[in-house]
Amino acid sequence: MDHAGTDLLDLWDLRVRENPDAPALVTPRRVLSYRSVDQLTDAWAASLAGHGARPGRLVGLAFTDPGRTVLGMIAALKAGSGFTVLDDRLPAAARASLVRRTEAAVWLGDGAHAPASAYVPAEPTGGGSGTGTDSGAGARSGPVDVPGSALRRPARTAAPGDTAYVLFTSGSTGQPKGTVVERDALRRFAVAVAERLELTAADRWLQVASLGFDVLIEEVFPALMAGAAVVCRADTYALDAEELHSTMAGTGTTVVELSTQYWLEYARWLDARGLTTPAELRLVVVGGERMDPRPYREWQARQPARLAHVYGLTECTVSSTFYTGLLPAGAEEVPLGTPLRDVEISVRRDGRPVPPGESGEIHIGGPLLARGFLGDEAATARRFVPDAWAAVPGARVYTTGDLGRIDPDGNLVFLGRLDDQVKIRGHRLEPARVERALCEDPAVDQAVVFPDPGTGTALWGFTVPADPRHAPLPGEAVRVTGAERDALLAPLEAALPDWAVPRVLYRVAVLPKNPHGKIDKRRLSDWASGAATATGSTGSVGATGPSGATTAGRAAGPGGQAGPGGPAAGPGGRDEPLTTVVDLFREVLGAPGLGPDDDFFEHGGQSLLAMRLLARLRESFPAAAGLRASALLRCPTPRLLAGSLGASGAGGAGRPRPVGRS
Q: Which tens digits make up the pLDDT trace of 381-420?
A: 999 999 999 888 889 999 999 999 999 999 999 988 787 6
CA gap 131, 146 in Å, rounded: 11
| Residues 76 and 27: beta-carbon distance below 8 Å | no
Angle at 123 between CA 121 and CA 127, to 5 degrees: 120
Residue 573, sorted as left (phi over 0), alpha (psi -120 to 50) or beta, turns out to be left
pLDDT for 598 beyond 50: yes
Mean pLDDT of the chain: 83
Please tell me the predicted confidence (pLDDT) of residue 590.
75
CA gap 373, 17 in Å, rounded: 36
561-595: b or e for each residue (b if 16 or more CB lie within 10 Å)? Answer: bbbebbbebeeeebbbbbbbbbbbbbbbbbbbbbb
Tell me if the pTM is above 0.95.
no
Amino acid 559 reads G
Give me the sign of the Cα torsion angle 534, 536, 542, 544: positive
pLDDT for 173 beyond 70: no
Neighbouring-strand partners of residue 168? 178
What percent of the chain stands above pLDDT 90?
Answer: 52
Give me the sign of the Cα torsion angle 560, 565, 566, 572: positive
Nearest 10 degrees: Cα torsion 636, 641, 642, 644: 150
Contacts of 137 (CB under 8 A, 6+ apart): 28, 250
User: Looking at residue 538, what DSSP letter applies?
Assistant: -
Q: Which residue has the higher pLDDT, 621 or 314?
A: 314
Q: pLDDT tens, 102-147? A: 999 999 999 899 999 999 998 776 444 444 433 333 333 344 444 4
CA gap 320, 318 in Å, rounded: 7
